[in-house]
Chains A and B, each alone.
Chain A
């Protein structure tokens, strides 16, 4: 079944990171996932984590340009959340009894595998940035993540001019790349 135009609109809004759209999706589906998690040995905090992770999976999917879910948004979120939660439960060796209902479950294995890989990469990046220490961490975050202007960064970090800040930034970036690729190659070797 194709998602209705309404849901496609939501997915487009999500891809753009539109706050209103995300609020609507959040409001419409959060309670469903919370009861799923709480009824299956989880807490409200677990529910929040799982639901947000499911939204990230969805976000990554629509970011890649695919707005076709082949099922209802609700079913998709439910299926992803359920798989994520079952995985988490089995990692923690907790007892799992959730019965599968084939009608309401949409196969999301591939998406979840891709999500896990990405998650591991992001985790790697986060750790690499954190291990840089200050001021490198903030400098790179300001330029590459917050996309601030070099001039602004120079002023706020206290560099005498933008060139110095830029120079420093490249030094930091070089370090970051080395740390990241060291981890990244290690990660690849493990697979």
Chain B
């Protein structure tokens, strides 16, 4: 038997293509002839090797195909094909779903456009393309800037690097986020923010009364969490002479407590809108609440005339009521509910202060 015939026989045996008789005969031969036996073992191994090689190659091919396909679809972040390779890819892709005729049309189109592309003067075209690219980059930048500006305009939180200068004090009069302070504190301001231990929030002026030197602010900040109920009340009564009073304010970057007494029922130069109090106050105290021992706000400290030692003037509390009334008349949506009953009337002074201080803010202007 020639080597070639032997190989064929062995292969037919391995592939199970022999008929039973032939098979028995061949197995007999294997047993008696070591060389044939060795050939079977060797060829089995070889065919296995060839088979695995074929599968390996097919798998590699498939991987390559999938890679190109996914990259073209943008499913993976790999470079897309360019030039000739891309044409081949597209052609292969296209070929699979369409008829030969259509494919020929594509090739024709591609070659014509390639012809046009090569024949057309190259440099102005590429310059134009570059210009076009630059233009779209610019357009993109402008759009981005516009959207950033928009965002800043719309944003209701405080930009990180906004510089604030002097200010005064303000305190909450309605848990929805209304505060009162002195008009002179905020009259020149472009941006106003309030700050205390709880945080820093943007506010806006909703009403200003320069005659009484009062302003009502509303918190516009998205981060602001509205309060439950106010601990103190706003009193309509001016109080009695010698009534002990205290205040919390921000003459510096920290809340400061001062105490004193009501010393006169009228203010500076006989001003009936305000009263005179004996208290140590500084500029930053403008807008601080003047609170009596029952936890009622009887006035708002008006720092304008604090040039004299040891006494100050305060706008009387009843004007807050008048102010909120006139505000409601002007704009019914801005209804402020003032608290008429103090919740801290029976508490110790230090306990009262502890409750109140979260409602008193430093007012910062820009």
A residues in contact (CB < 8 Å) with B: 17, 19, 22-23, 26-27, 30-31, 34, 44, 47-48, 52, 55-56, 59, 63, 118, 121-122, 125-126, 144-147, 166-167, 170-171, 173-174, 177, 180-181
Contacts and interface: CB of A to CB of B under 8 A. Distances in A.
B67 A126 contact: no
B59 A23 contact: no
Contact of A48 (B43, B51, B57, B67): B67
A154 to B, nearest CB: 16
Contact of A144 (B42, B50, B63, B77): B50
B51 A26 contact: no
A22 B62 CA distance: 9
B51 A144 contact: yes
B4 A26 contact: no
A171 B57 CA distance: 23
A63 B60 CA distance: 14
B64 A125 contact: no
A47 B67 CA distance: 11
A166 B17 CA distance: 15
A157 B59 CA distance: 26
Contacts of A26: 63, 66-67, 70, 76
Given A27-B70, A170-B8, A55 B75 contact: no
B64 A52 contact: yes
Interface string B1-23: 00110011001000000000000
Given A17-B62, A122-B53, A177-B46, 18 more contacts: A19-B62, A23-B66, A26-B76, A30-B70, A30-B76, A30-B77, A31-B77, A52-B60, A52-B67, A59-B59, A121-B53, A126-B57, A144-B50, A145-B50, A166-B8, A170-B4, A170-B8, A180-B46
Interface in B24-70: 42-43, 46-47, 49-60, 62-64, 66-67, 69-70
A147 B51 CA distance: 10
A26 B70 CA distance: 8
A30 B78 contact: yes
A170 B6 CA distance: 10
Interface residues on B, range: 20 to 34
Contacts of B63: 22, 26, 52, 55-56
A45 B53 CA distance: 24
A44 B62 contact: no
Given A31-B76, A121-B49, A56 B66 contact: no
B39 to A, nearest CB: 10
Contacts of A122: 52-53, 56-57
Contacts of B66: 19, 22-23, 26
Nearest to A129: B53
Contacts of A126: 53, 57
A30 B68 CA distance: 12
A125 B53 contact: yes
B79 interface: yes
Contacts of A125: 49-50, 53
A151 B78 CA distance: 43
B137 to A, nearest CB: 24
A174 B4 contact: yes
A98 B64 CA distance: 27
Contacts of A56: 56, 59-60, 63
A19 B11 CA distance: 32
A31 B78 CA distance: 8
Contacts of A174: 3-4, 7
A173 B43 CA distance: 10
Contacts of A59: 59
A134 B198 CA distance: 85
29 contacts: A22-B66, A23-B69, A26-B63, A26-B66, A26-B76, A27-B75, A30-B67, A30-B76, A31-B77, A44-B78, A44-B79, A52-B63, A52-B64, A59-B59, A63-B55, A118-B56, A121-B49, A122-B52, A122-B53, A122-B56, A126-B53, A126-B57, A144-B47, A145-B58, A167-B4, A170-B11, A173-B7, A174-B7, A177-B46
B13 to A, nearest CB: 14
Interface string B70-87: 100001111100000000
B109 to A, nearest CB: 29
